[in-house]
Structure 1
């Protein structure tokens, strides 16, 4: 699908006002709103109907009283949204719009309205969700970046939630390839959360696509993020969990993907690391263990003539990934200390026992490996080997 093929049908002023009023009426919610839409055909027709007609559809529910008057601040919201829609790349998609994601129509509670900013044509390309911990290890962040870069190179759009950690790394990696990324957020699109992703959000709005089901001005409220997860899981052909603890919200996304009969993939890690126990639980529950991007492409029967990334992409200087992912060369001969370290976070005492090196020499060698990007220092203090793809 090309840019020329994509046209969102922007609602007229009266229709825009009716949609926003339906969204913002207290107590209505998506389920009751859909019942009203099925009964009356459209938002303007809902508000042209009588209170008695509303009560028949909603079984006399008391929220009918709220429908009778516009919510507080409604006129200001309509004006602000209309002005926002005049900005380049800004669109409002409603149920029934030709550009509205067809996969979301399969959800039990699809969004009534989508605020979109960026490249709408990305909605017509095969996508994969990439999610994980907000506090990943350096290796986990690197994996998210490299896998997403390779997926983008292979022609897939990477979908994530703009959160700290794995989400941000996934967006960065996808932007390094040709297919780009979609960020589905839990705030209004005139806000950025977390704040440190302001520059990243700007890049996605230009080079990728930002989506939200929330009206402009919506702050980052806790209930919105689990709701957002259903959209992340439902947009693509599957979900890749890169690194997740047992209580990670990423497991919610994975569960929703499974319930939607979509593929779930997980990257394994050390059995001693709490950061990957959620991934291991998913694998035990039927998720596919993946070690390379090709494992995902093969499982999805994704054919492409584009070369699959070799994992050599680098995060842009100054990006959120730059602090976590360093450029590394892969031509360093195998090091006995790296052999002794293995792939599990290891203490200095354990390394000394395995190698027999004096403390001063061991510290010197660890510093060299840390500066070259082959080892990272973790809290504890622990040391972990970094993969040099």
Structure 2
């Protein structure tokens, strides 16, 4: 009964306008359990930093009906309300400067505890989409939970890579769990909840709003021991998340790309500012695990060693070549390089015995 009272009390505080995570931390340090806040006098409430007369009045006038309605709605839709004391809340998130009061969660009971965020532009290139998918798959195979934001582009590719590898993934939403955004990702969200979890700081029926996404971004970085940025323009929201990760004392990795692609500029700036340059999941694992990649990761040993010896254009084209036949036209379109550069790069890769020509128009990995 006490646990239920504290949850309802926490929901009541969550619903009070003007009472954010930082102010809640102040209340908690003074009153302890959430239920104790509602037994305080106006004078005692106003003595808490961040609680002015208006917020104090809202606390005193609060009732349980709205909180109980949310609790009932969550029960009906298999949504769990996660408090900071719950094991699913995440120790790393709890360590951040402004952890959320609570989280709404729908998904499998347990997921891998090690989390990395994979983020980037919504308007990614085929190259960026492939890198996000493959890198997320390999990291998931090594026991990492892939965290992203369910957006178009890099986010969706990261989730899909983790799912296809049989690993876990978390999607942190900028809307409530009953208001999936974008709507076109409802099927993807359903797959994630069956093989990972959906998380949100917002009540189930809250729709998306542009002011919600900075709040969502701090949770993405806060849950994760590292943030990986794959394609980001100079003013991308992904850079905000990366900067939040740095402020939280977490590792940041950036994937380089073509110098003439505006979607690479944000990543290149992060690298100039001190982020780790990563060309593969191996680079990330070697930093995160502080051990030789060969001890950590399954995979093709030849690929792990040769990719570090390739130029940017060779690495780009090689990453797009499938094990089975891949058309040269596809490589030209997906790499966004000029035709002559793709053909020259294919010749170099063939000389290095990394690819073989199946015909004049098709190649595959050696």
Which TM-score tier does this pair reach, normalised by the shorter chain? 0.7 to 0.9
Contact 2:221 2:227 in 1 (8 A): yes
Q: Relative to structure 1, is the Cα distance of residues 331 and 16 closer, same or farther in structure 2, using a 3 angstrom cutoff?
A: closer
Aligned to 2:108: 119
Does 2:270 correspond to 1:279?
no
Residue 95 of structure 1: how far off its partner (Å) = 2.1
Question: After superposition, where does 1:1-389 map in structure 2 within 5 Å?
Answer: 11-12=3-4, 14-58=5-49, 61-62=52-53, 63-70=55-62, 75-88=65-78, 90-122=79-111, 124-301=112-289, 307-308=298-299, 329-330=322-323, 332=325, 345-346=337-338
Contact 2:12 2:67 in 1 (8 A): no
Cα RMSD for the two superposed structures: 3.3
Residue 97 of structure 1: how far off its partner (Å) = 2.7
Gaps (5+ residues) in structure 1? 1-8, 312-326, 355-367, 375-386
Gaps (5+ residues) in structure 2? 304-319, 345-359
Residue 331 of structure 1: how far off its partner (Å) = 5.2
Distance 2:152 2:194 in 1: 20
Q: Which structure dedicates a bigger proportion of its chain to helix? A: 2
Aligned to 1:3: none
Tell me the SS of whatever aligns to 1:68.
Answer: helix
TM-score by length of 2: 0.80
Distance 2:73 2:334 in 1: 56
Residue 171 of structure 1: how far off its partner (Å) = 0.3
Deviates more, 1:164-173 or 1:78-87: 78-87
Q: Relative to structure 1, is the Cα distance of residues 242 and 388 closer, same or farther in structure 2, using a 3 angstrom cutoff?
A: farther
Residues paired across the two proteins, number:
329
Distance 1:341 1:191 in 2: 35
Distance 1:58 1:214 in 2: 24
Distance 2:72 2:330 in 1: 58
Higher RCO by CA contacts (8 Å cutoff, separation 6 or greater): 1
Residue 78 of structure 1: how far off its partner (Å) = 2.3
Tell me the SS of whatever aligns to 1:25.
Answer: coil
Distance 2:193 2:229 in 1: 24
Distance 2:11 2:142 in 1: 39
Distance 2:2 2:148 in 1: 25
Contact 2:92 2:225 in 1 (8 A): no
Residue by residue over 1:299-345, the C-alpha shift from the partner in whole angstroms, topping out at 9 and shown as x without a partner, is: 1126766624899xxxxxxxxxxxxxxx974455996x999999553
Deviates more, 1:293-302 or 1:243-252: 293-302
